[in-house]
Structure 1
C-alpha cells in the first residue's frame, strides 16, 4: 500500500528543524547507498524527507514536474532561488531530541551528502484549532484546505506507482524586520495582512496590496490551492541580536499554485506588490519532491532504490 508521508497532512509540531544538505563529490552509487540508509529512517511522521532536483539529476532519474525554484524579480522586490539537494523536516516535542537526531542522520548520509544549514522552528501561540501564529501575532494558515480538499491540492494521485502519494514542497525562509513592523500603526498592520489582529476577521476594505487579497487561492485561474505548514523560526546573530521570521512551507500536487501566488505577491501580474514585503523578505527559495511511503519506508523506486 502506498501512503503519503504523514507529517505533510498532520498539524505542525511543537518543535521542528529544517536540515539542508548538499551533494559532496560522490558517485551515483555512493549517493544511492546513502539514500538506502536513509530510507528506513524516514517514518514520514517525525521525519519528512524532500529530495531536490540536483539530487535526482545526479542519479540520472526523472520526477515529472520537479524543477528548481525560479528566481523571480518583481518591480520592487524579489524572491531568490537557493537550491539544495535534500531537506529533512524533523518534527517533535523536545528540542534536544531533534538536535541528537540531526547528528545521527548527518553521520548516516556522509560522505555523499554534507550538512549545509539548519533552521530551528517552533509553534507560537497555537489556539484550539490546528494553526499557530506568526511572530507578528497574526494567525498563519487560516485559509488552508482541510480533509479531502487538503489531500486533493497537496498529494499526487493517478500518476502511477512510486509517484502517487508524493508531494511537491516549496520552502522559503522569510526574515521579518520588526523595527519596521513596530513603526506601523495598528490599522496599517491589519491592512498589510488583510485581517484584524484582534479577531482574525478578513477586512473587506483592505487595499489590493493586502497579503490576503494577493494570495486569495480561489481568485486565480486555475485556482491556486496549496497546503501551508509554515512555522516561525529564530536564531541569534554573532552580535547577539535576534533574527526571526517565518519558515514558509507549502505542499502541492505541483509547484504551479505556489508560483502563481508568488508571482502575484511580487506584482508580476499587475504591478501591485504584496504589503508583506514592507516588513519581511524571503532569504531563500527551494523546491523538493517528497516521495511516498511503502511498507513503513520511503518509496524510492523512481530513483532505482529498492524497497
Structure 2
C-alpha cells in the first residue's frame, strides 16, 4: 500500500459548501515566529488550509525554492493587479457560522504579529458552477494526475507535498453578462451552458480554447478549487489554482491576457481580477503544518 504524501488534504478535496479566504499582513516590527508555531498546531490542512507569501518567508530569513511574489504578466493586454499577502488562510466547512467563529479565533491568535487585511466569504453554487451558471473546473485533473499537478514530489527542490497557490478574486459584471444573447454567452466560455459540451464553432477567444491545458508545451495542468463570492448585489469568483510550481498558471494567464499572441480571453468582456497573489502551502507532518523548511 503506497504511503500517502504529506499534503494539506483540503487542497485535494472537492469544493465545500462554504468557505472564507482570510489574508493577513505582517505588522511592522513584529516577530511572527511564535504565532506561526501556534497556527501550525491549529492547522489540520483539511478544514484550514494555509499559504505563506514570499515576503513573509524572506522576513523569516528562509527561502522556499520556486516561491516568488506575483507581479502580473509582461505584455498583458488587460489589468492584472498584484496584491501580495504575507499569509492566507482558506477556511472550509459546511456552515457559515462555524467558519465565522474559526476565522475570529485564528485572527485573534495571529493578532500580535499579523493584521487581518481582507475576508472574502465564498460558497458552492449549484454543484460547482460559476455565478454565470457555467460549470467551473471541467478539465480538472483527478486521482494521481491531480497529485502530480498540484504538489511537489519527493526529490523536488521544494519540500515534498508543498503546493504553490495562485489566487485571484474576479469581479463579474453580472448584469452585463445577463444582457448578452445566449449564443454570445456560450461563445464566451466555449461551452453550452446546460449540457456543458464544448462548442466546435466557438471563436478562438472562447475561454476553453484559450486555456486548453493539454495544448501547451509542456502541458499546463493546475488543480482548480475556485469558489463563487458575493457581497450585496455584486459577486464573482475566487480563482484558486494549485500547482507543483507557478509555471502552468503563468502559461495559462499569459495566453488569457493576450501577452502571448495579442488575443484576449473572452472572459475579459464581462469580468476582471481585482487581486492577485502567490502563496506557498507547506506540507503536513504528524498532524500539524510542517514549517521546518522555514526554520520553525
- The CA distance in 2 between the partners of 1:200 and 1:110, in whole Å, is 45
Residue in structure 2 matched with residue 24 of structure 1 by the alignment:
27
In structure 2, the residue corresponding to 1:13 is in which secondary structure? coil
Q: Is the 8 A contact 2:24 2:85 kept in 1?
A: yes
Residue in structure 2 matched with residue 302 of structure 1 by the alignment:
293
Alignment of 1:228-307 (within 5 A): 228-236=224-232, 242-305=233-296
Q: Using the TM superposition, give the Cα deviation of residue 76 of structure 1 relative to its aligned residue in structure 2, in angstroms.
A: 3.9
In structure 2, the residue corresponding to 1:3 is in which secondary structure? coil
Moved >6 Å (runs of 4+): none
Cα gap change, 1:195/1:162 in structure 2, threshold over 3 Å: closer, same or farther?
Answer: closer
- 2:159 matches 1:163: yes
Q: What is the TM-score with the length of structure 1 in the denominator?
A: 0.93
Moved more, 70-79 or 145-154: 70-79
- Residue by residue over 1:179-213, the C-alpha shift from the partner in whole angstroms, topping out at 9 and shown as x without a partner, is 21022110001001000012000011111100000
- The CA distance in 1 between the partners of 2:35 and 2:145, in whole Å, is 35
Moved more, 178-187 or 38-47: 178-187
- The CA distance in 1 between the partners of 2:84 and 2:192, in whole Å, is 36
User: Aligned residues, how many?
Assistant: 293
Q: Is the 8 A contact 2:282 2:289 kept in 1?
A: yes
- The CA distance in 1 between the partners of 2:182 and 2:157, in whole Å, is 51
- The CA distance in 1 between the partners of 2:133 and 2:28, in whole Å, is 44
- Residue by residue over 1:198-230, the C-alpha shift from the partner in whole angstroms, topping out at 9 and shown as x without a partner, is 200001111110000000001111110000000
Q: Using the TM superposition, give the Cα deviation of residue 70 of structure 1 relative to its aligned residue in structure 2, in angstroms.
A: 1.7
Residue in structure 1 matched with residue 91 of structure 2 by the alignment:
90
Alignment of 1:173-192 (within 5 A): 173-192=169-188
- The CA distance in 2 between the partners of 1:137 and 1:274, in whole Å, is 18
- Residue by residue over 1:272-307, the C-alpha shift from the partner in whole angstroms, topping out at 9 and shown as x without a partner, is 1000000000000010000000010000001111xx
Q: What is the TM-score with the length of structure 2 in the denominator?
A: 0.96
- 2:124 matches 1:133: no
5+ residue gaps, structure 2:
none
Q: Using the TM superposition, give the Cα deviation of residue 72 of structure 1 relative to its aligned residue in structure 2, in angstroms.
A: 2.8
Cα gap change, 1:160/1:152 in structure 2, threshold over 3 Å: closer, same or farther?
Answer: closer
In structure 1, the residue corresponding to 2:37 is in which secondary structure? helix
- The CA distance in 1 between the partners of 2:150 and 2:221, in whole Å, is 8
Q: Is the 8 A contact 1:162 1:299 kept in 2?
A: no
Q: Using the TM superposition, give the Cα deviation of residue 66 of structure 1 relative to its aligned residue in structure 2, in angstroms.
A: 0.3
- Residue by residue over 1:130-175, the C-alpha shift from the partner in whole angstroms, topping out at 9 and shown as x without a partner, is xx00000000010000000000011001236971011000100000
In structure 2, the residue corresponding to 1:40 is in which secondary structure? helix
Cα gap change, 1:74/1:276 in structure 2, threshold over 3 Å: closer, same or farther?
Answer: farther
Cα gap change, 1:277/1:133 in structure 2, threshold over 3 Å: closer, same or farther?
Answer: same
5+ residue gaps, structure 1:
127-131, 237-241
Cα gap change, 1:75/1:101 in structure 2, threshold over 3 Å: closer, same or farther?
Answer: closer
- The CA distance in 1 between the partners of 2:157 and 2:83, in whole Å, is 30
Q: Using the TM superposition, give the Cα deviation of residue 120 of structure 1 relative to its aligned residue in structure 2, in angstroms.
A: 0.3
Q: Is the 8 A contact 2:192 2:199 kept in 1?
A: yes
Moved more, 154-163 or 140-149: 154-163
- The CA distance in 1 between the partners of 2:151 and 2:78, in whole Å, is 31
- The CA distance in 2 between the partners of 1:148 and 1:294, in whole Å, is 21
